[in-house]
């Protein structure tokens, strides 16, 4: 009997048991937003997963054509809202390349410190959701507790908790207040202790170990072929971090390691994020020490007008490689086209590779460790 498969499925039928299809999403707590997955099941084993995107496609790239460059910075907040402050920098670096303006040292330190705070905040949400998806709701409370401290600092500096819209070509909107550095210090001291709790709570938890070791293995070759980046790529044994590979801002002057794990399973993807929180704290400690108390925090303000050309920037957000491609067809304040490459899109593209042969509950673990943000995929 030949039956037609739903769109997207293409594996040849192998087993003799009756296969069935399950729809997961778009409103499902563990798809991290409006993502829909259709699963082809053989009993309780996943044969094939097909992701369906577009449930939160907001047409940002179309809107960007009628916006000014500065307005698009606000759009970048709403792509990956967990790392909004990092996305701002991605757009701004592309604009700086076009305008050919630099940033004074104090401005660069402000940038790097906020970047790393944003990275920790995003990884804390990962920690919470990972624990939550495995059934430990306490982790959610844990992760969000420290995240609120970062939000307080972000609010003090940028004026907003989540959608920061902070960086501008040549620096940032405001200088940091005097209380910022002591607050960061206090946060780091607090976090040092708390991280021990965090790790004690999940890293050697038998439920976590059983449900994540050997689950959702992504080989090194596949990770590269599918264009994965960030923690997902580094958990598969590839040492690629834009902060090292193409250093932007002052990352080349700072001393930090790029953690790399080699198994490519869910547990490694969890561990790598914990290791990255430690590395971010290491960077923050250096910044707190070296932070220039005097000096300008931004360069001379200029109208944001880009000459004709194409400008590309890439940064390492908490999720991975975030690239912005700006096309200016006429010299002026409006772009011809802006394209954003978000890190989560390729990760979901590779989900079929990871989930095949596992159970549905493992798919939930895999989704949690990919840590996708759907509005950034759909834009």
Partner 1 sequence: MGIINLAPKILDPIPGGKYVVNAIDYVVNWARANSIWPLTYGTSCCAIEMMSSSMARYDIARFGSEVFRSSPRQADLFILAGTITRRMAPAIQMLWEQIPGPKYVIAMGACTISGGPFIYDNYSVVRGAQNLIPVDVFVPGCPPRPEALFHGLLTLREKILKETCRNPWHEGEPKDVSTMDRYREAAKTWAALEEMKDEQMAEARAKFKEEHPDYKSAFKPIRVKKPDFPEVERVPAKRFGMTQLELYTKLHAKFPNVTVHTRGEDTPEDVVANLPADCPLEVMLEKEDYLNVVEFVKNDPEFKMDYLIDVTAIDYDDHFDMVTMLRSLEIGHKIFLCVQLKKDFSIDEEKRPTSLLASVPTISHLYPGAEIKEREVYDMFGIKFENHPDLRRIFLDKDFVGYPLRKDFTHPEMIRRPI
Residue ranges in 251-310 that form contacts with partner 1 under rule CB under 8 A: 252, 296, 298-301, 310
- Give helix then strand counts, H and E, for the chain: 15, 8
Considering the complex, state which of residue 60 and residue 277 has its C-beta at the smaller distance from partner 1.
Answer: 60
**160-176 as b/e, with b when 16 or more CB fall inside 10 Å?**
eeebbbbbbbbbbeeeb
**Cα–Cα distances in Å, from 349 out to 20, 107, 126, 274, 346?**
22, 37, 19, 24, 5
Site for partner 1 in 155-174 (CB under 8 A): 161-163, 170-171
Please state the closest distance from residue 234 (CB atom) to partner 1, in A: 11
Please state the closest distance from residue 215 (CB atom) to partner 1, in A: 21
The closest of 121, 92, 123, 122 to 108, measured between CA atoms, is: 92
Q: Which of 5, 42, 45, 53 binds partner 1 (CB under 8 A)?
A: 53
By CB under 8 A, is residue 248 in contact with partner 1? yes
Contact 307, 288 (CB under 8 A): no
Q: Which of 135, 148, 179, 357 binds partner 1 (CB under 8 A)?
A: 148
Considering the complex, state which of residue 34 and residue 267 has its C-beta at the smaller distance from partner 1.
Answer: 34
Binding-site size, partner 1 (CB under 8 A): 87
By CB under 8 A, is residue 5 in contact with partner 1? no
**Per-residue x/- mask for partner 1, residues 69 to 108, rule CB under 8 A?**
-----xx-xx--xx-------------xx--xxxxx----
Please state the closest distance from residue 17 (CB atom) to partner 1, in A: 25
By CB under 8 A, is residue 197 in contact with partner 1? no
By CB under 8 A, is residue 11 in contact with partner 1? no
Site for partner 1 in 213-232 (CB under 8 A): 222, 224-228
Please state the closest distance from residue 299 (CB atom) to partner 1, in A: 4
The closest of 241, 233, 237 to 257, measured between CA atoms, is: 241
Please state the closest distance from residue 206 (CB atom) to partner 1, in A: 26
**254-268 as b/e, with b when 16 or more CB fall inside 10 Å?**
bebebbbbebbbbbb
Considering the complex, state which of residue 7 and residue 303 has its C-beta at the smaller distance from partner 1.
Answer: 7
**Cα–Cα distances in Å, from 153 out to 23, 112, 141, 147, 332?**
41, 14, 19, 10, 35
């Amino acid at each position: 009997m030949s039956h037609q498969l739903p769109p997207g499925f293409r594996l040849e039928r192998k087993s003799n048991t009756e296969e069935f299809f399950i729809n997961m999403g778009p409103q499902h707590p563990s798809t991290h937003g409006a993502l829909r997955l259709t699963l082809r099941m053989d009993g309780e084993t996943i044969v094939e997963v097909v992701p369906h995107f577009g449930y939160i496609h907001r047409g940002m790239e179309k809107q960007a054509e009628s916006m000014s460059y500065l307005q698009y910075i606000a759009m970048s907040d709403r792509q990956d809202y967990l790392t909004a402050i990092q996305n701002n920098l991605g757009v701004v670096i592309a604009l700086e390349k076009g305008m050919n303006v630099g940033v004074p040292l104090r401005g660069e330190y402000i940038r790097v410190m906020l970047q790393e705070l944003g990275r920790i905040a995003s990884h804390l949400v990962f920690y919470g959701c990972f624990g939550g998806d495995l059934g430990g709701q306490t982790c959610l409370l844990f992760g969000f507790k420290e995240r609120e401290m970062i939000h307080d600092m972000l609010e003090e500096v940028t004026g907003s908790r989540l959608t920061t819209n902070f960086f501008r070509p040549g620096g940032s909107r405001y200088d940091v207040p005097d209380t910022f550095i002591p607050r960061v210090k206090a946060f780091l001291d607090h976090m040092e202790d708390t991280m021990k709790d965090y790790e004690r709570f999940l890293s050697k938890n038998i439920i976590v170990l059983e449900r994540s070791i050997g689950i959702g293995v992504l080989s090194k070759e596949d990770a590269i072929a599918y264009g994965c980046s960030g923690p997902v790529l580094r958990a598969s044994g590839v040492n690629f971090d834009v902060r090292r590979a193409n250093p932007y801002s002052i990352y080349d002057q700072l001393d930090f390691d790029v953690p790399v794990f080699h198994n490519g399973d869910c547990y490694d993807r969890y561990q790598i994020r914990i290791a990255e929180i430690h590395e971010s704290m290491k960077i923050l400690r250096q910044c707190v020490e070296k932070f220039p108390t005097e000096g300008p925090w931004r360069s001379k303000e200029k109208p944001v007008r880009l000459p004709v050309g194409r400008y590309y920037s890439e940064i390492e957000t908490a999720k991975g490689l975030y690239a912005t491609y700006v096309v200016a067809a006429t010299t002026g304040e409006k772009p011809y086209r802006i394209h954003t490459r978000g890190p989560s899109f390729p990760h979901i593209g590779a989900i079929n590779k990871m989930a095949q042969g596992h159970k549905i509950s493992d798919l939930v673990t895999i989704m949690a460790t990919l840590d996708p943000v759907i509005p950034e995929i759909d834009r």
